[in-house]
Amino acid sequence: MSVTAAKGFRAAGVAAGLKSTGAPDVALVVNDGPNDAAAAVFTSNRCKANPVLWSERAISDGRLRAVVLNSGGANCYTGAEGFQVTHATAEEVARLNALSPLDVLVCSTGLIGLPLPQDRLLAGVADATTRLTATGGGDAAEAIRTTDSVSKQASVTSPHGWSVGGMAKGAGMLAPALATMLVVITTDALVDGPGLDSALRAATRVTFDRLDSDGCQSTNDTVALMSSGASGLAPDPVEFTAAVTAVCHDLAQQLLADAEGSEHDIAIEVRGAVSEEEAVEVGRSVARSNLFKAAVFGKDPNWGRILASVGTTSATFDPADLDVAMNDVWVCRKSTPAESADGIDLSGRKVGVVIDLKAGPATATVWTNDLTHAYVHENSAYSS
């Protein structure tokens, strides 16, 4: 499991006192090679945190030797001083592990606008370095939790002998172009930078980018993929992309299941769109309807709120010819009531919505959560 499922990686997670609770808050993942190829994708939010600004630079040559992550502070909107903390963190990882600072990706998560105490963070880096082991993936996954109720890990082993493993954190601010999350994926397959980049982009496009728990887009999102090449095996690119996608999908579903205060996981499948982009646009509009999400929390199959959301998009469809199903009951055909919604049981955690636009061949699924009292509670009390 996790980032040490693949050979050639060591990891650790330690408590550095960044969290007032004393829980683990610094994680380190080191790639012992022989390969050092890597790829990463970042938040599309234009207000980027300091570690993202650093990491975009670090990954630009397609090579990484380590990823250092902290919870307990996002180091976002903390000014030039905050960037200096990120820089010092990369320098310290490099110094202690005999690497170049620009081969160190830095990730932070927590509150925005608060300074991150550099002395504690660097002491944590030193502590983590001494604890690095080939079985430390679980400790690392533990140390990146914020409001996550559980740590998230996944792995796939190819019948050809190579592996892909990963860890993720994220429970709120989950929205497009990456949820609010940090993800580190490792593989011992031998893949070069461009191969990793193309596999990672293909995988995130249909997994993390389709997750829209609360419509709020973070400033810190990072997904990194590193290859150690320690298996000595060069994978088939299609099989490799499928394996990375499987790990991303597994982690994305774990994020969904652990979203702050959620009681339902809602899959919104849009069919019959003229393009995948339009299918995603329609799915996302429903995923962002507070009224629809509150109705699901109330176990109310209120499909009118689905159509009201579809109508706000610019996708191609005939407003008088839409079909909608909830949990396989086609409550709406040709934009008029069809099968009775009375029998729809929304007591389970999984809810399925299908919207048929009848306009083309494309399809896409967007995942979201319901809007609950607990979501409001967690997010109104988070920093106070």
- Binders of its own copies among 83-122, rule CB under 8 A? 111-115
Whether a cis peptide bond, with omega within 30° of 0, leads into 34 is yes
180 in catalytic set = yes
Q: Using CB atoms within 10 A of its CB, is residue 315 exposed (0-12), middle (13-18) or buried (19+)?
A: buried
Q: Annotated binding residue at 260?
A: yes
Kindly determine how many residues on this chain lie close enough to bind its own copies according to the rule CB under 8 A: 65
Query: Could you tell me if 358 and 317 are in contact, meaning their C-beta atoms sit under 8 angstroms apart?
Result: yes
Token pair 């298996």 is found at: 231
- Which of these segments, 26-34, 238-246, 308-316, 352-360, binds its own copies (CB under 8 A)? 308-316
Q: Which tokens in the block code for residue 319?
A: 């407003």
Least separation in angstroms between CB 137 and its own copies: 30
Residues 24-37 as b or e (16 or more Cβ within 10 Å = b): bbbbbbbbbeebbb
3 state SS of 254:
helix
- Binders of its own copies among 212-251, rule CB under 8 A? 214-219
Beta bridge partners of 154: 166
The contacts of residue 201 (CB under 8 Å, 6+ apart) are: 39, 41
- Which of these segments, 91-99, 223-231, 244-252, 301-309, binds its own copies (CB under 8 A)? 301-309
Least separation in angstroms between CB 314 and its own copies: 8
Task: Out of 126, 202, 294, 362, point to the residue binding its own copies (CB under 8 A).
Answer: 294
3 state SS of 15:
coil
Query: Could you tell me if 221 and 42 are in contact, meaning their C-beta atoms sit under 8 angstroms apart?
Result: yes
Least separation in angstroms between CB 322 and its own copies: 8
Packing angle of the helix pair 193-206, 237-257 (nearest 10 deg): 40
> Among residues 82 and 124, whose Cβ is nearest to its own copies?
82
User: Applying CB under 8 A, does 310 fall inside the site for its own copies?
Assistant: yes
Which DSSP symbol is given to 342? T
> Among residues 77 and 330, whose Cβ is nearest to its own copies?
77
User: Applying CB under 8 A, does 379 fall inside the site for its own copies?
Assistant: yes
Q: Annotated binding residue at 379?
A: yes
The contacts of residue 311 (CB under 8 Å, 6+ apart) are: 319
- Binders of its own copies among 319-358, rule CB under 8 A? 319, 322, 331-332, 334-337
Q: Annotated binding residue at 372?
A: no
Candidates 129, 180, 207, 245; catalytic one = 180
Query: Could you tell me if 259 and 357 are in contact, meaning their C-beta atoms sit under 8 angstroms apart?
Result: no
- Which of these segments, 100-108, 240-248, 250-258, 307-315, binds its own copies (CB under 8 A)? 307-315
- Which of these segments, 140-148, 163-171, 203-211, 366-374, binds its own copies (CB under 8 A)? 366-374
Binding residues: 146, 169, 180, 260, 379, 384
List residues near its own copies by CB under 8 A: 45-48, 74, 76-80, 82, 111-115, 172-173, 214-219, 288-291, 294-295, 297-300, 302-305, 307-313, 319, 322, 331-332, 334-337, 371-373, 375-377, 379-384
Residue numbers in the known binding site for substrate are 146, 169, 180, 260, 379, 384
Catalogue the active-site residues. 180
